[in-house]
Structure 1
Amino acid sequence: MNNSGPIVLSELLAPETINLQLSGTQRDQVLSELVGQIKELNNQPQARETLLRALEEREQLHSTGIGDGVALPHARNALVGLVNRPIMVFGRHQTGVPYGAIDGAPAKLFFLLIAPTVTQHLSMLARISRVLRDPKVRRGLLAADSADKVIKTVKDAEARI
């Protein structure tokens, strides 16, 4: 990843950070599934628990369900020391889970965002929010039948913003 320029979301995604078959029926189960996609944390149960706790605390403060079937789970603050680079995980749930979004719609599309610095954290949030404003992008993500198609959808959307 280019460290000097703006964050490119499609470069943060990889097939191993994409789960098109989330199975949890509750918010915290889905958060756990998303965190499970982060390879760096597989051998670090303490870091994994810290991240899950931070995500759950953020959701209790205010839901990260932004409406239109989308949730952007992220910790309230940058996770200094937990990760050394920005990480984004995409997950999709077939039927959706209740997520406390302002429009009441269940969340089907999830982008878990983690960053080691506040600047990267805010940059990722702003950029993914812009990308997801386009209903065509959301439809493309719902229809994607492979991780590569998810990455292409995000990459194409970024090229337009």
Structure 2
Amino acid sequence: MKITDLLKKDFIIEELVSTGKQEVLEELSRSFQKGNVKFNLDAMIKVLLEREKLGSTGIGDHIAIPHGKLNGLDDLIVAFGRSSRGIDFDAMDGKPVNLFFLLMAPEHSTGQHLKALAKISRMLKDHHFRKSLMETKSKDELYQIIADKDDQT
């Protein structure tokens, strides 16, 4: 599975303007509207907030991987967002989150959904990858860093 098959450049936000958990989920979800993805924005945000109630998807090391399954979605989709200042996301380690990968899946795609989550998690274990994502400037560079890591993982 290739993350870059699910992530379009239009789904990358170089600097999130959001300051809170719900705002981040909304901002990342709205990025999908730039890519001809047909979905209900309110329903997506509701699914993500419900998932967060089960336990934060802020996994530590300044990373969050919010995810959910949405009825009516045709394919898996991934968005990426970065916050240089960090956002309180109730992460497991209590630290603010800088790097967000949002994964949305069709309601009945358990296997693919889990494979994509696992792949993103493996990619983010690499400190140099995370550092590169924080230091690069443009959307094109961010996409290329993710693509290069995707090829190696």
TM-score by length of 2: 0.91
Matches within 5 A, 1:138-153: 138-153=130-145
1:10 maps to a residue whose letter is T
2:2 aligned to which of 5, 8, 32? 8
Segments of structure 1 that go 5 or more residues without pairing to the other structure are 1-6
Query: How far is 1:104 from its partner?
Result: 1.1
Which residue of the partner structure matches residue 3 of structure 1?
none
Segments of structure 2 that go 5 or more residues without pairing to the other structure are none
Cα deviations by residue, 1:107-134 (Å, 9 ceiling, x for unpaired): 1110000111111211110000000000
Query: How far is 1:153 from its partner?
Result: 1.1
Query: How far is 1:139 from its partner?
Result: 0.5
State the distance in 2 between where 1:17 and 1:160 align: 22
- The percent identity for this pair of structures is 38
Alignment RMSD (CA, Å): 1.4
Structure 1 contact 86–114 (Cα < 8 Å) conserved: yes
Give the 3-state SS of the residue equivalent to 2:67 in structure 1. Answer: coil
Query: How far is 1:31 from its partner?
Result: 0.6
How many residues end up aligned between the 2 structures? Answer: 149
Structure 1 contact 97–108 (Cα < 8 Å) conserved: yes
Matches within 5 A, 1:60-99: 60-75=53-68, 78-81=69-72, 83-99=73-89
TM-score by length of 1: 0.87
State the distance in 1 between where 2:123 and 2:75 align: 21
Structure 1 contact 10–152 (Cα < 8 Å) conserved: no
1:32 maps to a residue whose letter is E
Q: Which structure dedicates a bigger proportion of its chain to strand?
A: 2
Query: How far is 1:11 from its partner?
Result: 2.5
State the distance in 1 between where 2:141 and 2:150 align: 14
Which residue of the partner structure matches residue 104 of structure 2?
114
Give the 3-state SS of the residue equivalent to 1:16 in structure 2. Answer: strand
